[in-house]
Amino acid sequence: MVLDQVNNLSVSTEKILDCDLAIVGGGIVGTTLASALKHSGIKIIIIEAKPLELAAARRQAYAFSLLSGRIYEGIGVWQKIFPNIAKFRQIRLSDADYPKIVKFQTKDLNDEYLGYVAEHNIVLTALQEFIADCDNISWLCPAEVTEVEYQDAFATVKVNINGAEKLIKTKLVVGADGARSRIRQWAGIKTGGWKYWQSCVAFTIKHTAPQNDIAFERFWSTGPMGVLPLPGNRCQIVWTNPHAEAKNLQTMDEGEFLSKLSQYTGGLLGKLELVSDRLLFPVQLMQCDRYVQSRLALIGDAAHCCHPVGGQGLNLGIRDAASLAQIIQEAHTLGSDLGSLNTLKHYEAWRKRENLAILGFSDFLDRAFSNNWLPMVILRRLGLWILQYFQPLKIFALKLMTGLKGRTPQLARY
Ligand SMILES: Cc1cc2nc3c(=O)[nH]c(=O)nc-3n(C[C@H](O)[C@H](O)[C@H](O)COP(=O)(O)OP(=O)(O)OC[C@H]3O[C@@H](n4cnc5c(N)ncnc54)[C@H](O)[C@@H]3O)c2cc1C
């Protein structure tokens, strides 16, 4: 994607670009925000540090909620994504080797699927193509934001493009620049949270099990293990362990690793073959003190991060993007200032509390299951039993996991 795309924006001098919205970070969350505002009449520049192909090339797959699917359907990009992702019809929760398994099925929700598993490159490439050649959206890429200055009526974003400097004058800056957001740090926004005693090893396997439409979350006392189906009899596995054990899993001999994996997946997947690197991620919980200030809003991992148990992080970010798009669009239609604190407070009030609930839920799951303390073992197994047989609780938990609780963005209501 090319630099001279900035030409379709009003350039007031050679070095200064004018726009309504500057999105810093062209990951899935930032690009979703731009896609949701396609043809809105709002002039948008997305600034992404990596070349677009490289940004999309990340080897990761995500559990994708029903709500995220509906948001993409509302945006109009779902038909590009849906054929290339896995769909699951069952979710199974189990506590180590305890034989009682909680099974969530499509009939519990009266839906065709309970969720999807999407690879990073499939989603981000579809979004990039969706907004290519769009009159109101331009990329600065590869380009890095090096400084932002906030004034009352606008913000100025300094961008480095191959050593050359450009300035963007904008009504609103959106930080979608990930967990280590510099946009957040430069604005002096504080964060709360903690680092876990665990890391995740994430990888892809091929297997020989005949069925590949079930998502598993198996809780071991060392940490949860998520097994997500992918097209082509593959699975994405996210295996949480204390740091040293996770590091050991990453580096141990492949044969030994696969035999341990087979044991921890209960042999359910048949013969296993490792088809990716084993990537190591430390795990953290983080929430910003505030999501907004005058001329600035944070979305996605820039605003919050959670434990990967339950596969919620990206889904929260997609929901942030859809909610913020709605608020910005409404302000633009009414002729209000889309970067004013007044406007942006609506976004914060909507999303901060909802995100906190999911952060708390994922933290509770990890803490309740990652131990061998007998009273807790008894309590959680009782909890699983109740979850399996008490239908209202089961449906509540399922709606929470699939994103069907909380306020639904307009884009997902059709
Ligand atoms: C092991 C693991 C498994 C996970 N599994 C799931 C799952 O199953 N389901 C789920 O929903 N979530 C999952 N998550 C969480 C998910 O990965 C994140 O929530 C998501 O990737 C965040 O997306 P983002 O767009 O906010 O940030 P990022 O993906 O980090 O994108 C930020 C972008 O900003 C760019 N950038 C950064 N700084 C600058 C700058 N100064 N100038 C310009 N550009 C910049 C970067 O190049 C990048 O492209 C998982 C996380 C982990 C670690």
The CB of 281 under 6 Å from ligand 1? The reply is yes
Report the separation in Å between the CA atom of 97 and the middle of ligand 1, taken as the mean of its atom positions.
33
Q: Which one of 23, 31, 58, 62 would you pick to mutate in the ligand 1 pocket, going by the greatest count of ligand atoms within 8 A of its CB?
A: 62
CA-to-CA distance for 258 and 249, rounded, in angstroms? Answer: 10
Q: So what's the pLDDT on residue 169?
A: 97
Q: Whose CA is nearest to atom 29 of ligand 1?
A: 27
Q: So what's the pLDDT on residue 267?
A: 86
The CB of 28 under 6 Å from ligand 1? The reply is yes
Q: So what's the pLDDT on residue 98?
A: 87
CB contact burial 50-72 (16+ within 10 A = b; e otherwise): bebeebbeeebbbbbbbbbbbbb
Q: So what's the pLDDT on residue 6?
A: 40
CA-to-CA distance for 144 and 368, rounded, in angstroms? Answer: 41
Which atom from ligand 1 is nearest to the alpha carbon of 238?
1
Q: Are 129 and 30 in contact (CB under 8 A)?
A: no
What phi and psi values does residue 105 have, to the nearest 5 degrees?
-125, 165
Which atom from ligand 1 is nearest to the alpha carbon of 305?
19
CA-to-CA distance for 343 and 101, rounded, in angstroms? Answer: 46
Q: So what's the pLDDT on residue 133?
A: 86
Tell me the whole-structure pTM to 2 decimals. 0.94
The CB of 25 under 6 Å from ligand 1? The reply is yes
CA-to-CA distance for 369 and 218, rounded, in angstroms? Answer: 10
The CB of 320 under 6 Å from ligand 1? The reply is no
CB contact burial 294-324 (16+ within 10 A = b; e otherwise): bbbbbbbbbbbbbbbbbbbbbbbbbbbbbbb
**One pLDDT digit (tens) per residue for the chain, 414 residues:** 334 344 333 333 457 899 999 999 999 999 999 999 999 999 999 999 999 999 999 999 999 999 999 999 999 999 999 999 999 999 999 999 888 899 999 999 999 999 999 999 999 999 999 999 899 999 999 999 999 999 999 999 999 999 999 999 999 999 999 999 999 999 999 999 999 999 999 999 999 998 889 999 999 999 999 999 999 999 999 999 999 999 999 999 999 999 999 999 988 899 999 999 999 999 999 999 999 999 999 999 999 999 999 899 999 999 999 999 999 999 999 999 999 999 999 999 999 999 999 999 999 999 999 888 999 999 999 999 999 999 999 999 999 999 999 999 999 986
Q: So what's the pLDDT on residue 99?
A: 86
Q: So what's the pLDDT on residue 14?
A: 53
Which atom from ligand 1 is nearest to the alpha carbon of 30?
25
The CB of 300 under 6 Å from ligand 1? The reply is yes
CA-to-CA distance for 267 and 53, rounded, in angstroms? Answer: 37
Q: So what's the pLDDT on residue 97?
A: 85
